[in-house]
């Protein structure tokens, strides 16, 4: 008999709509899977079985009344602990925020509830969501379900580990520098970073972010099938007036040329051979599907990465420095020290110059994407890292940072990106990244379905 917890969201919604199974049955199966899988992984760190079952019962009751409870009716999902969910602490992996109980839902939670999703738990993140690895002093470390010696990614490492093992068909994550796309890569699933303005965001418990977070941080889904990402995006992207950057853009854009810029080594960065092999295979798959795939010179990556880090660290210094000292998390302390080595403090003139450069780079990239609507590139220059490699030494941190350039650069321009897992190399998952113009997630998802036409089995 099929374990209901291992089904895709698309399959679950079809079964529940036909009344072949109940939302309670799916939720019960998922909670049982969490009980079996989570102790070894520590992906879900805030548990909510009673609330999940009550939400499932409400879905079933609505169906009995002949009502439509939403496009995600009965789908089990997880939420990252850095967004507000009524009645739960928005810890962001911090001991100092263990009692920061949200009084109201953030827009992403409100949208997912209205779509009928059943929240089964909240997932782990590193302290301050600052790393591509997942460990903190409050919740502990999350493990990669493929290989415990590898990182599960970060900062949405709990989300990646949970969805890879069927502890929810869809996982919520956030991404300012790869925090959706990299955990998807490391855990062998798919992850979508939406465009700036696509998915409304705001944490009432924390108030408004500074300009770096406003321009670069977004919420997005992780899942084991590309159609599930599309389903989740549609639910997440419902309007909410609390986000001033939100744009009510259609999810389906006009027809675009099926042209893909092939970028095996952005700006000449080092790229491991297994990653190059995955890119070459993906290029051939897209060509067979009717895409024109050509090596093309793109606008700058390295400059965009440097400016993104400068803006991100300017925000961190302004908003989190006192909290960093109070938390005294060893990992966060080390990572912050290395980041400041790469990003000296900037003054008002430096901030203004950074924002001016953002306009230029955004214009260059969007003009390029008008001719080449998709870019095929690495997620990372390396296979998933050994766990906690970034805090092993300064040299290791620098190697990690260099490999992550394809993840860091594009958020600076507000562009969407998609990680597609395409295979494995030994115990490590491997995949590719697709980049598109703002609000063209539809192009990413269409190409992604060619690269991964079948759901990834839950581990």
Whole-structure pTM value: 0.98
Residues of the chain with pLDDT under 50: none
Distances (CA, A) of 143 to 41, 151, 304, 419: 5, 7, 31, 20
**pLDDT digit string, tens, across residues 23-37:** 999 999 999 999 999
pLDDT recorded at residue 2: 84
Q: Which two tokens stand for residue 16?
A: 């529940």
Q: Which two tokens stand for residue 294?
A: 């050509």
Report how far residue 361's alpha carbon sits from residue 354's, in angstroms, rounded to the nearest whole number. 10
Q: If you compute the radius of gyration of the chain from its CA atoms, what whole number of angstroms results?
A: 20
SS3 79: strand
**Which strands sit side by side in the sheet containing 292-295, from one edge to the other?**
44-47, 118-123, 76-80, 170-175, 218-223, 190-193, 417-425, 428-436, 374-377, 259-262, 292-295
Report how far residue 404's alpha carbon sits from residue 177's, in angstroms, rounded to the nearest whole number. 9
pLDDT recorded at residue 60: 98
Q: Which two tokens stand for residue 15?
A: 């079964």
Q: Which two tokens stand for residue 75?
A: 């789908």
Q: What domains does the chain contain, in order, with CATH numbers?
A: 4-236 (3.90.1300.10), 260-415 (no CATH)
Q: Give the residue numbers marked as catalytic.
A: 80, 155, 179
Q: Which two tokens stand for residue 19?
A: 């009344």
Number of residues in the chain: 459
**pLDDT digit string, tens, across residues 345-372:** 999 999 999 999 999 999 999 999 999 9
pLDDT recorded at residue 281: 98
E runs forming strands in 274-416 = 292-295, 374-377
Could you give the angle at which helices 330-342 and 302-327 cross, rounded to 10 degrees? 140
pLDDT recorded at residue 1: 66
pLDDT recorded at residue 138: 98
Cα 318 from chain centre: 25
């Amino acid at each position: 008999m099929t374990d209901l917890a291992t089904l895709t969201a698309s399959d679950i919604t079809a079964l529940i709509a036909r009344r072949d199974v109940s939302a309670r049955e799916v939720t019960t199966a998922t909670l049982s899977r969490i009980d079996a899988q989570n102790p070894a992984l520590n992906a879900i760190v805030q548990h909510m079985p009673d609330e999940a079952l009550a939400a499932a019962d409400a879905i079933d009751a609505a169906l009995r009344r002949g009502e439509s409870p939403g496009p995600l009716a009965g789908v089990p999902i997880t939420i990252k602990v850095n967004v507000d969910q009524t009645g739960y602490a928005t810890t962001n992996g911090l001991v100092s925020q263990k009692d920061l109980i949200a009084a109201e839902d953030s827009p992403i939670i409100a949208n997912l509830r209205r779509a009928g999703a059943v929240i089964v738990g909240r997932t782990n993140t590193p302290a301050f969501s600052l790393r591509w690895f997942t460990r903190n002093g409050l919740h502990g470390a999350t493990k990669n379900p493929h290989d415990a010696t590898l990182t599960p990614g970060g900062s949405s490492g709990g989300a990646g580990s949970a969805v890879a093992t069927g502890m929810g068909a869809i996982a919520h994550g956030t991404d300012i520098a790869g925090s959706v796309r990299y955990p998807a890569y490391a855990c062998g699933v798919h992850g979508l970073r939406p465009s700036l303005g696509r998915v409304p965001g705001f944490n009432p418990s924390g108030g408004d972010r500074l300009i770096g977070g406003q321009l670069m941080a977004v919420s997005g889904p992780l899942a084991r099938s590309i159609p599930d990402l599309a389903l989740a995006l549609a639910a997440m992207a419902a309007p909410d007036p609390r986000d001033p950057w939100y744009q009510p853009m259609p999810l389906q854009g006009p027809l675009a040329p099926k042209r893909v810029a092939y970028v095996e080594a952005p700006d000449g960065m080092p790229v491991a051979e297994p990653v190059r092999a995955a890119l070459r295979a993906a290029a051939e798959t897209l060509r067979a599907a009717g895409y024109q795939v050509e090596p093309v010179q793109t606008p700058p990556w390295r400059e965009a990465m440097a400016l993104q880090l400068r803006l991100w660290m300017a925000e961190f210094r302004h908003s989190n420095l006192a909290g960093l000292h109070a938390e005294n998390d060893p990992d966060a302390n080390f990572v912050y020290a290395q980041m400041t080595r790469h990003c000296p403090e900037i003054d008002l003139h430096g901030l203004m110059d950074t924002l001016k450069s953002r306009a230029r780079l955004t214009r260059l990239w969007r003009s390029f994407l008008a001719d080449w609507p998709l870019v095929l590139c690495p997620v990372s220059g390396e296979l998933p890292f050994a766990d906690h490699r970034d805090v092993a030494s300064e040299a290791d941190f620098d190697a990690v940072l260099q490999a992550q350039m394809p993840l860091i650069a594009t958020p600076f321009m507000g562009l969407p990106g998609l990680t597609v897992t395409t295979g494995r190399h030994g115990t490590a998952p491997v995949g590719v990244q697709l980049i598109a113009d703002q609000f063209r997630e539809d192009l990413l998802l269409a190409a992604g379905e060619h690269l991964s036409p079948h759901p990834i089995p839950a581990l």
